[in-house]
Amino acid sequence: MNLRNIQLRRQHLIAVALVLVTTTSSFVLFGQGPPRMRKHQVTKAAALVLVPANKKPLTSNRVRITEKDEFRVIESNDIPKHTVGEFPNRGNPNAIAPQSWTIRIPLHPVANKKATSLHLRTERGPPNMPFGIGVNGVLFEPGTAEFWMGNRGADWNYEALGGAVRLGLDSNHAHVQPGGMYHYHGIPTGLLNELGFPENEHQPEKHSPLIGWAADGFPVYYAYGYSQPDDPKSMITKLVTGFQLREGIRPSGSNSPGGRYDGAFIQDYEFSQDKGDLDECNGRFCVTPEFPEGTYAYFLTDAWPVIPRAFRGTPVLLKERGHGSHRRPGR
């Protein structure tokens, strides 16, 4: 057995041991039913604690993007080129493992008047589908399966970036699902660095690079775009979301946590049509360097929702059979 296989085997054994001894976590693999809910009582957001991304993945990145018929075909092993955090860790008992994605998204997407939520099959519970996939073949999947008091029906869903529940995110705002799937919950810092566009480094003459594709086929960018959506000669500006924290106090009682709206839960936020540069899908119609004739495009913003939580087009299920090779519950 070579050194690489020994290292992979060691990580797998550590992950199994952590699952067995960690009483605060209860994960199950796809095919064994939904994960048992952890009964969190915390109601306050906290500073986000990130694991340093200073480890080189044990497997090399493999991604291939082609166009065939009416689809953009993305084949990937879900392993990034950039460094990652230590997994397993205290907040996440899972080791990174290669996946086998073959994802087909529309090559010529059509924008709809009505937005489609990531809650595609139900209005309750965690977002049950990824938002999209990076140009490096790693999925954007912002939702969690963490609820106040473990009450999925009450629909007070913890925000991964809110810090109330520690999920072991690394400094790429990513962590690992059961089964080994590494995925982004926020700004993909390492990917931006690879693309020559470091997070929060304003480059006044440079539009954001293309960083991925949404499940409906529209392109995804970081927050910097043209100040005039239809004018590529206009100044570059940092685009602002229309979402903001609600004011006041949450409902309280047997099905509601109470406490001030502070970002601990996704329900702490609301969209205002009169604020920001982007619509409720965190996108807009505009020109971009890749689409000089114009397109609808999504932008990852520094403020919530960061990764969009709704689609302007009609999404495919990225982890459904026929689109992706895995359908594991998200965390």
8 A C-beta contact, residue 265 and residue 208: no
Looking at residue 231, its pLDDT comes to 98
Separation in Å, CA 103 to CA 67, 130, 201, 258: 11, 12, 32, 41
Integer Cα distance of 75 and 57 in angstroms: 18
Here the tokens at position 316 are 């495919």
**pTM for the whole structure:** 0.85
Amino acid identity of residue 49, one-letter, is V
Residue 198's SS3 state is coil
Task: Give Cα 103 to chain centroid, integer Å.
Answer: 16
- Pick from 153, 134, 181: nearest CA to 29: 181
Query: What does the pLDDT average to over 248-265?
Result: 95
User: Contact, 185 vs 194, CB < 8 A?
Assistant: no
Amino acid type, 195: L
Task: List, in sequence order, every residue forming a beta bridge with 238; answer none if it has no partner.
Answer: 224
The candidate with the shortest Cα–Cα distance to 212, out of 67, 98, 74, is 74
For 93-116, give the DSSP string: --------EEEEEESS----SS-E
Bridge partners of 253? 256
Residues 195-225: tens digit of each pLDDT: 999 876 666 679 999 999 999 999 999 999 9
Q: Is the pLDDT of residue 20 over 90?
A: no
Round the average pLDDT of the chain to a whole number and report it: 85
Least Cα distance to 204 among 227, 231, 229 occurs for: 227
The two structure tokens encoding residue 98: 């290669």
Mean of the pLDDT values across residues 19-24?
31
Q: How far is CA 26 from CA 130, 145, 146, 319, 331, in A?
A: 21, 11, 11, 22, 11
Measure the CA–CA gap between 122 and 120, rounded to whole angstroms.
6
Interacting residues of 17 by C-beta distance below 8 A, sequence separation 6+: none
pLDDT computed for residue 202 by the predictor = 64
